[in-house]
Structure 1
């Protein structure tokens, strides 16, 4: 145990001793450290020499105290300066040591007896030590100090201030001084050369150090770059060992430098197929050998396998720098997948692009840069005939609306670029000049190359034709509807023919048209109307024999006659004059037949070359057939009207006969009937009754007392007031009138007055007690007229009233007996119409107003 403690102490002492024997290092002051490295060993040497000298060198008894003092002083000074140096006071310690050495040396010289070879040696040592410790300037300083000291020592000797050991001459002193100067100069120049060499070496060392640091930094940066690279990188040295592998390679392929420590392992790992590995290895060796000789870069594409046996398609780049192969891998597996997907999508989009029903343009500004197959089909050209062209190369100068194609195109492009997509119709022309109408949808699209216009073109020529056909059909249907309206509201033959002619000119390709109606009695065709003629060579009433003219042939054969060119037809003089004067080119005559009977011929004339009869001609045939029916109906209506007038005359004669029979019972009845009919007509017209209703009202007024046939004469002609029983009988005559007239069809609409003229507005009348507007209008009108006429004429039981009295009485009956509104109209008529009086017997009744 004690031995271990002793060893431990020995080691600590040894460690401390070694520490104190080594020069101190000052990290913050390199210059001080350098000076310490030079001066510290010298101080140790002097300290050791002093100890050795004292311990082992025999001392001269004569100079014992002097030498002991000198050596002791050097020992103490060296130890003191060592302590100062370890505490960082290096420069001051060195200065103290030199001064102490000089003082000690000078004292030794005084003690030894002046200038001698020992003196010279001491001064040389001081100069040399000063040079080593303090540099070249110290050599000069201490040389001068030694030089001056030597001179003073010599002066002291010759003046007897010191006792010299030997006699010194001037020559000896001179040689001593010269030797000192030579030694100092040599040492100065040597030290200067050493400093220069040291400075140069220092510069070289600094440069080397900087270069090494820069190399380290560059290598560090290089490795950091490699480490931070997004691409997998590895470095293989000349011994085929993998020296570096970045994290990206590990992330992509899963390998670490331990997995593939050398080139052989790498090839075996990433190329599992032996044959393929052999091929790649051979190619690699050839390429590496080549670029080592001539330089360059290896660039190949390979399929490698990762740690999990999954394939990766990579771009392989390799270069040789200072016998090291730098290998860069670019994993393009995803790129290949995306490229394959892009190619598939491109094929798909191209198929869609080329097979879409609409044409598609891609325009860079005004010029076509791409198009699909449908565009080539629409414009009837090849791709190289349209790419690089503009829409104006496939458009007429003017669009259908009259606008300039160029300005319209620029306007559409501007609106699309600044605002939003535009859809518009555009007249295009094919490569051969054939026009077609298109619907264009123009939009702006942004591609990697910049902004482009995308135009979608759809051929709407067929659609336009269909629209025109539909519009034409609609117009024709509207025209037919209007025609039917005219036919149903008018049976005037001339009006009907005029409407037909206007419709034919407006809705067909005819320039002129005419109707030739057939007269069955004379068996001829008569010109009954025409439209579109510029001359009067076809006067109304002109006659044509059946089979003698073009129209006559149509009438005879009852088949259309068509002439496509009059110049090729042999014509009689009359037809030639008409064709030349009217400049007719073609003709069509259509017979009008109804139920096998010929009604006439419709003639169509054209002043231009016409295509063969088509859809428009079918329409004209339809009009001709409808015209034939209208003509037949007009004839039938005329015949029916004549028969109806005869029947109406018969009816009216019968009615007049009934009134005459009534008048045979009472003369007053005929006069009363005549008056009320006239006044009823006037009042009915005043309140707006139409003519077709007025005739029934007048017939009702004429027959208003027809029911009195059943009233006995004793009651009918009683001179005084009737009793209750008699009134009961009298009030039966409206019902009797109803029962009599309801059986006669043409008098049913005239039954309101005979049946209801005794009803009262307030509901107290008879026979049914109707109230207000439940009472028919005709009966409300006639009730006022009947009372007026009764009060304004004598009756068996009273005399006629004055006009004012009658009006006053009737006013009191407003809302009781009479309709207030109709009464006001009647009173206005009586008071303001000067032509009316209490006696209207001179006015005549026309049963057919």
Structure 2
């Protein structure tokens, strides 16, 4: 523990010192003085000098009181301490030296000096007190100490000690309370100062954070241009580092260095500068525009400038681009090749470009203050108004229609209207833009194209109709009908005169075609109100006119040059179709003749085979007739296939031409070698007929009619549906005719026996379905037809 901890601390505030002085003065007046007076009278002899001293002390205390009232605390404290030190020293020397009770009062004076004057004063008073007591000791040893003016009794000595101890106790209590209050106050002030310092640090951190992070440049500089402080945003804006900016003058940052002086001069006159747009030169040489706010201030008595800079380069560029775009829009608006009309939310025109004025034949002044719908043709007005309502209701972003507009001179002009709504940031409508494209030329061209398309379409469909007919009368009727139903004529007739027909001898026709006259009239007959126009188109083929296609209409513009050319083309197609029909008829006649010659040849071959084998004479004609009936009853053959079935039946045994007569006419049974030769006749038939392309569809019966359903036939051993259907049909008829015919070695079977045999062989020799259909067919035929089918046919 340090020795200074035993010395009371000086009261720091003047108020506590003042209170302590007042308490001590009151103690002297109200406690010390009465006690001393009582002591003076309790002694053996009354001490008048002591009473005089008390009076002087009270007078001095009154003077100290006046000094306290005048706030001269230091002087009052020094006088008080000095007065009582002298008083107690005198009492000690005059009342017995160090044995005097007054020596205790030194402690009181030392504590008082410490509280009122400080530690140094208390040390000085302590030293002086030690010196005084040491002098008293020396005087007493040398018996030089004056005789005591006060003779203490035990009671008075006890009272003196009690008085001094009480004074010290009161002083300690008062001073301790004052010190405690002073310490509490000092602690409160310390806490308050710490709170204020913390708030200051927090506030400084906030402002520092704001200063460092705000996107606006902030700077402080002296009037001579020396930079005091600048935030990172300002450094970044100027393109310098913070250290570089602290080393340069602000004039170097201005695009025009003289601007800063005039800016400060104006700020000194007006007190501040607000939102002044100025240009600065970055470190890389580029210009940056900023809105400058400048204020003047004082720091430590020195004038400084405080400026904020908000980068305006992008906004300035955007404004410049906006002005450029506005100029471009104005140029487009004024010089656009289409009409542009601006319409307010009430549907009234407030601006129109020259093209719109020229299109509608109004001046801009005449267009303004009028409802835009008034310029729309009445027949188109309702539809446009409905679309406009949908646009303003937000149901669509824009609409585009073709409609008619009324000009100032009463004329009508076609235009393509494209309307869109311009809205603000809150999606509220500002105005509507209507763009009108002149469609007059387009409509004229479209009408011509429609006519051409209509004519081409008519030509295409009418030509398609012509390609589906091959009869002259049908072609003539379709040709005339197409002129009415497709080309739009009100009446048309086509005439083919016998004298003007094609040279039929060139086509080797036996008889000329009869004259043809076809007349078609529209469902809307020609009226007699207006002139009727008729146009005739010749039908020409091979440079020969053989008829006329006549059209009639009372439409003024029906027989236009383009339609006439198309009708003449169509007439040529009709003529070509008629020519093809005649040619086709000629080819059909030739084909019939050739086919008839082929069939006659085949029948001649079949008769020659019957003549070779007398036992089977008439067999070929009978099985051919019945095979045709059965194949038709099956319902699985087309007409062309039935022709091939007939031919195959006629030629079914033509392969026997390769079998020697000795085997073919042998009266007895054939041996194995002879059967091998006989069973090759289907192969001979195939080899004989296959090279003839005309008979390719007729090979199934000659080749496979000896095959069996169960696979036991020849020549290939086919079974079931592997055998062609025609061969399966013929196999049933062939056996049926063989069993019913008389042979030298047996009589023909009865019909019922044959039917039972065929039914029994179904699924073995024959196709069950063919047998079933054949038996049903026999049930429907008469007895005469069954016994002699060829004669009945």
Bucket of the pairwise TM-score, normalised by the shorter protein: 0.5 to 0.7
Q: Distance in 2 between matches of 1:845 and 1:453?
A: 98
Specify the alignment match of 1:72 in structure 2.
54
Specify the alignment match of 1:604 in structure 2.
551
Specify the alignment match of 1:700 in structure 2.
648
Shift of the 834–372 alpha-carbon distance from structure 1 to 2, 3 Å rule, reads farther
Specify the alignment match of 2:472 in structure 1.
493
Is 1:479 equivalent to 2:461 in the alignment? Answer: yes
Classify the secondary structure of the residue corresponding to 1:520: helix
Q: How much has 1:786 moved relative to structure 2?
A: 0.8
Shift of the 78–584 alpha-carbon distance from structure 1 to 2, 3 Å rule, reads farther
Specify the alignment match of 2:739 in structure 1.
791
Classify the secondary structure of the residue corresponding to 2:745: coil
Shift of the 675–449 alpha-carbon distance from structure 1 to 2, 3 Å rule, reads closer
Q: How much has 1:506 moved relative to structure 2?
A: 4.7
Unaligned runs of 5+ in 2: 38-44, 69-199, 503-512
Is 1:638 equivalent to 2:585 in the alignment? Answer: yes
Q: How much has 1:40 moved relative to structure 2?
A: 7.5
The within-5 A match list for 1:129-148 is none
Q: Distance in 1 between matches of 2:231 and 2:602?
A: 127
Q: Distance in 2 between matches of 1:297 and 1:785?
A: 126
Decide whether the 8 Å contact of 1:398 with 1:405 is kept in 2.
no
Q: How much has 1:641 moved relative to structure 2?
A: 2.7
Classify the secondary structure of the residue corresponding to 1:404: helix
Decide whether the 8 Å contact of 1:362 with 1:455 is kept in 2.
yes
Q: Distance in 2 between matches of 1:715 and 1:243?
A: 140
Is 1:427 equivalent to 2:397 in the alignment? Answer: no
Decide whether the 8 Å contact of 1:710 with 1:733 is kept in 2.
yes
Shift of the 444–316 alpha-carbon distance from structure 1 to 2, 3 Å rule, reads closer
Decide whether the 8 Å contact of 1:46 with 1:78 is kept in 2.
no
Decide whether the 8 Å contact of 1:599 with 1:631 is kept in 2.
no
What is the aligned counterpart of 1:809 among 757, 762, 776? 757
Shift of the 468–699 alpha-carbon distance from structure 1 to 2, 3 Å rule, reads same
Is 1:513 equivalent to 2:503 in the alignment? Answer: no
Specify the alignment match of 1:331 in structure 2.
309
Q: Distance in 2 between matches of 1:534 and 1:326?
A: 104
Specify the alignment match of 1:685 in structure 2.
632
The within-5 A match list for 1:396-407 is 404-407=383-386
Specify the alignment match of 1:626 in structure 2.
573
Shift of the 704–250 alpha-carbon distance from structure 1 to 2, 3 Å rule, reads closer
Q: How much has 1:631 moved relative to structure 2?
A: 0.3
The within-5 A match list for 1:395-794 is 404-411=383-390, 414=393, 416=395, 426-429=401-404, 433-436=412-415, 447=425, 450=428, 479=461, 482-483=464-465, 486-487=468-469, 491-520=470-499, 528-533=517-522, 585-610=532-557, 613=560, 617-661=564-608, 664=611, 669-688=616-635, 689-708=637-656, 720-724=668-672, 726-728=674-676, 730-731=678-679, 733-735=681-683, 737-738=685-686, 741=689, 746-794=694-742
Decide whether the 8 Å contact of 1:397 with 1:406 is kept in 2.
no
Q: Distance in 2 between matches of 1:721 and 1:838?
A: 33
Decide whether the 8 Å contact of 1:357 with 1:374 is kept in 2.
no
Q: How much has 1:493 moved relative to structure 2?
A: 2.1
Classify the secondary structure of the residue corresponding to 1:593: strand
Decide whether the 8 Å contact of 2:626 with 2:789 is kept in 1.
no
Specify the alignment match of 1:542 in structure 2.
none
Q: Distance in 2 between matches of 1:368 and 1:324?
A: 65
Classify the secondary structure of the residue corresponding to 2:786: coil
Specify the alignment match of 2:75 in structure 1.
none
Q: Deviations over 1:745-797 (max 9, x none)?
A: 64554444344322333444344545444544322211111111111232222
Specify the alignment match of 1:819 in structure 2.
767
Q: Distance in 2 between matches of 1:310 and 1:658?
A: 113
Which range is displaced more, 777-786 or 447-456?
447-456
Specify the alignment match of 2:152 in structure 1.
none
Q: How much has 1:605 moved relative to structure 2?
A: 3.2
Specify the alignment match of 1:343 in structure 2.
320
Q: Distance in 1 between matches of 2:207 and 2:591?
A: 121
Q: Distance in 2 between matches of 1:404 and 1:656?
A: 80
Shift of the 40–824 alpha-carbon distance from structure 1 to 2, 3 Å rule, reads same
Q: How much has 1:403 moved relative to structure 2?
A: 8.3
Q: Distance in 1 between matches of 2:627 and 2:755?
A: 17
Is 1:25 equivalent to 2:4 in the alignment? Answer: no
Question: Could you say which structure has the greater relative contact order, defined with CA pairs below 8 angstroms and 6 or more residues apart?
Answer: 2
Specify the alignment match of 1:170 in structure 2.
none
Q: Deviations over 1:111-163 (max 9, x none)?
A: xxxxxxxxxxxxxxxxxxxxxxxxxxxxxxxxxxxxxxxxxxxxxxxxxxxxx
Decide whether the 8 Å contact of 2:480 with 2:549 is kept in 1.
no
Shift of the 375–796 alpha-carbon distance from structure 1 to 2, 3 Å rule, reads farther
Decide whether the 8 Å contact of 2:219 with 2:308 is kept in 1.
no
Shift of the 839–309 alpha-carbon distance from structure 1 to 2, 3 Å rule, reads closer
Q: Deviations over 1:215-246 (max 9, x none)?
A: xx9xx99x989x97957476999xx9999988
Shift of the 770–303 alpha-carbon distance from structure 1 to 2, 3 Å rule, reads closer
Q: Deviations over 1:431-451 (max 9, x none)?
A: 7553356788x7997637756
What is the aligned counterpart of 1:800 among 748, 754, 757? 748
Q: Distance in 2 between matches of 1:311 and 1:726?
A: 122
Shift of the 444–727 alpha-carbon distance from structure 1 to 2, 3 Å rule, reads farther
Q: Deviations over 1:233-284 (max 9, x none)?
A: 76999xx99999886997567899xx999xxx988666696xx62x874686
CA RMSD of aligned residues (A): 6.5
Decide whether the 8 Å contact of 2:338 with 2:436 is kept in 1.
yes
Q: Distance in 1 between matches of 2:227 and 2:591?
A: 128
Shift of the 645–697 alpha-carbon distance from structure 1 to 2, 3 Å rule, reads same
Q: Distance in 2 between matches of 1:528 and 1:357?
A: 58
Q: Deviations over 1:669-702 (max 9, x none)?
A: 4543333222211111122222222223223323
The within-5 A match list for 1:136-285 is 232=218, 277=258, 281=261, 285=265
Shift of the 737–303 alpha-carbon distance from structure 1 to 2, 3 Å rule, reads closer
Decide whether the 8 Å contact of 2:541 with 2:579 is kept in 1.
yes
Q: Deviations over 1:507-550 (max 9, x none)?
A: 43434433232433589996632333469xxxxxxxxxxxxxxx
Q: Distance in 1 between matches of 2:581 and 2:255?
A: 106
Classify the secondary structure of the residue corresponding to 1:530: strand
Classify the secondary structure of the residue corresponding to 1:447: coil
Classify the secondary structure of the residue corresponding to 1:799: coil
Shift of the 80–328 alpha-carbon distance from structure 1 to 2, 3 Å rule, reads closer
Q: Distance in 2 between matches of 1:599 and 1:838?
A: 53
Classify the secondary structure of the residue corresponding to 1:25: helix
Q: Distance in 2 between matches of 1:468 and 1:756?
A: 64
Q: How much has 1:802 moved relative to structure 2?
A: 3.3
Decide whether the 8 Å contact of 2:455 with 2:487 is kept in 1.
no
